[in-house]
Amino acid sequence: MIKIAVMGHGVVGSGVVEVFYKNRESIQQKAGHEMDIAHILDLREFPETPYADKFTKNFDDILNDETVKIVVETMGGVHPAYDYVKACLQNGKSVVTSNKELVATMGAELIHIAKDKNVNFLFEASVGGGIPILRPITQCLAANEITEIDGILNGTTNYILTQMIQNAVSFEDALKTAQQLGYAERDPSADVDGHDACRKICILSALAFGKHVYPKQVYTEGISKITLADVAYLESIHHVIKLIGKTKKLEGGKHVFATVYPAVISSHCQLASVDDVYNAVMVRGDAIGDVVFYGRGAGKLPTASAVVADVIDCAKHLETRKLLCWADGDDDYVADYKTDTVGMYVRMNGNTDAIKADVNGAFSGVKFLSRADAPADEIAFVTPAMPEKAFDEKMQAVGGEIQSKIRVLDL
């Protein structure tokens, strides 16, 4: 009998308990062991649940219970989750977490502790909710040299952008609806400003390329400045705006680009048809080409299902350390995003004839766009791809006021 503890009985944690007991028979069969949840740690009271007798407010009840071999951490945030997880690993317990902030900031250290103690530290649910991504990258694509990962990693922002693109709802109104539907928090900044997607691209980059990228190293830009005017201009050339997390290995493999920003992509790209709260991750490998994983990136049961799958994996490999590993990061590892090659969509106000002449003088191969009911002083265009630094320099020669500037990715 393998005993499990669950730390944090919020949305995901309660889902873990629910999924475990609902599918317990087949879970035990797949794990090859009898299993039960022994403790649930939460400071709140849950007298109504059928598992009320399993609740504790004291972490030591879990840490000191030697029959507990697998601990699930679904508390969120870095503290005290980090201290609890570290203590569990050091005590020889495997840990499964859905906490992307914890993994993105402390992953390398926790993996090393797990390795030293010959236990597992698994976190499939930290990226893409229930979509299998991390294990396929580390196992199924193991024969590939992965060169790039691009993903729609945040369901809230994708819902908002979908509303803007398909129904011409403004950013503000779409955000309000997302809050009403429970897709966005009352303080939506972690989603809307790109921080959530940033943590996930850190984890994906570390797994794919073997070295930690810290959130503060990732250039991160949110979607709050996107307007319906931009959506309309881009629709005219069959392109859409998506919040894309990107990590790409540079020539030689010593550096990576790692960014999160709203990007213009062709509607032919497989990521363009990922709508509403869905997530998708595109992995590019030298042998496999492009592979896309698609599904619900958040939500109680999808995320819980990924956590429980990791629990099963821990139970199957109680003494076998999984060879999932990455090195600490360093200050030089992430290259300046301004040296990455991107096209640029620009919307400006001013004397459009003068701007057009400036733009054509500064760039070659620019495409000017049109939309219905555009003001007479508005102009929009897309430049060919070039290092962003070169774009910035060329734009010095262009008069007028920039309203929008969105990078164009050729995925």
| Residue from 294, 318, 384, 386 binding its own copies (CB under 8 A) | 294
Identify whether 200 is a catalytic site residue. Answer: yes
* Contact between 126 and its own copies per CB under 8 A: no
- Select from 12, 308, 342, 382 the one that contacts its own copies (CB under 8 A): 308
Determine the Cα–Cα distance for residues 17 and 72; give it in Å rounded to an integer: 10
The amino acid at 211: K
Cβ-based nearer residue to its own copies, 226 or 271: 271
Task: Give yes or no for residue 101 binding its own copies (CB under 8 A).
Answer: no
The Cβ of residue 371 has, within 10 Å, a number of other Cβ atoms equal to 17
Spatial separation of the C-alpha atoms in residues 167 and 358, rounded to whole Å: 35
- Out of 11, 169, 228, 291, name the contact with its own copies by CB under 8 A: 291
Return the number of the residue (57 or 316) whose C-beta is nearest its own copies. Answer: 316
- The residue among 36 and 61 lying less far from its own copies, judged by its C-beta, is 36
Nearer to its own copies, 285 or 329 (CB): 285
Considering only 212, 296, 347, 407, the residue that binds its own copies (CB under 8 A) is 296
Which range binds its own copies by CB under 8 A, 129-137, 201-209, 223-231, 348-356?
129-137
Q: 333 CB contacts (<8 Å, ≥6 apart)?
A: 211, 213, 217, 254, 255, 256
Of the residues 54, 100, 200, 211, only one is catalytic, namely: 200
Active site members: 200
Using CB under 8 A, list all residues that contact its own copies.
15, 19-20, 22-23, 26-27, 30, 32, 124, 130-132, 135-136, 138-145, 270, 273, 285-296, 299, 301-302, 304-309, 311-313, 316-317, 320, 323
